[in-house]
Amino acid sequence: MESQVIDIGETATYEVTIYAGENTSVGTYNIGIADNAANDPNTWRLVALSVLTPPPPPTPVPTEKVTPVAGGIPTRSAEVVLETGGARLTDSVLFWLVVILGALLGIGAFMRYRGI
């Protein structure tokens, strides 16, 4: 912190940090603070310091399992296997994958044939 000179009658604000130990009793303590006690004993100011109890730790919020509103929507992969009878891909998904893959292969072959 750098030095600060103020004229008579002016005010200055200081930030003061005071730590209370774990064994300090809860209550209000009157302490004196001076900014220049060595040269001027009239600079002492009494300050009321309140020691409060620490806030309790946050209470964990219990979580609940949420059931989907729409029926038939699987929420876990095990439920998907049960609903599809163990098949990983349904027939319609497999059909569209084959169609899209075939179209991409056809476009690639055409581009290679035309030299694009």
Q: What is the pLDDT of residues 33-51, one digit of tens each?
A: 877 767 777 778 888 888 8
The phi-psi region of residue 22 (left if phi > 0; otherwise alpha if psi is between -120 and 50; otherwise beta) is: alpha
Q: How far is CA 9 from the centre of its chain?
A: 47
Whether pLDDT at 7 is above 70:
yes
Amino acid in position 106: G
What gap in Å lies between CA 64 and CA 62, rounded to an integer? 7
> Is the separation of the CB atoms in 14 and 34 below 8 Å?
no
Which pTM value belongs to this model? 0.35
pLDDT in tens, 81-91: 666 565 566 77
